[in-house]
Amino acid sequence: LGGVGKTTLAQHVCTFERTENYFKHIMWIQVNQIFSVHGIYRQMLGAALGEPCHEFSNLDTLQMKLEAALRGKRFLLVLDDVWTGKDVNDEYKLDQLCSPLKAGDTGSKVLVTTRFADAAKYLGCHSPMQIPDLNEMDFYNLFMHYALRA
């Protein structure tokens, strides 16, 4: 379900002081409905280098640069808002996506947010957490608290 706080929770994980001190790179990738390994590599490399990555258009070059940027470093990769679809279910594309991640140091992590349980399963998530939906009364109370706070 959308809008229950998955992205907000992941953002808090990324900005938690112990997280920032533990990982050399924190890479936030907005995936959405189009699962493009090329696009994800570009965003990851840009996050790892700290600047946009426009000059590399070849997937193999992006993969090599990404492996070099991650080699021996502990990283947190957040894949936010992953949708299901043929690309997420494509084993070859998932192998491509995961290949440069193997260069990272022990303790590197991948955090996936998705509204679809099968997307998490296809990505090989080991410990999925489901955020429960708010019931109508809890939603109303939360809304009224923040809406009337000003």
| Per-domain residue ranges of the chain | 6-147
- Tell me if the domain spanning 6-147 has CATH number 3.30.70: no
Phi-psi category of 9—alpha, beta or left, where left has phi over 0 and alpha has psi -120 to 50?
alpha
pLDDT of 2 reads 66
Mean pLDDT across the chain, nearest whole number? Answer: 84
Of 124 and 62, which is predicted with more confidence? 62
Residue 102: strand, helix, or coil? helix
Percentage of the chain beyond pLDDT 70 is 93
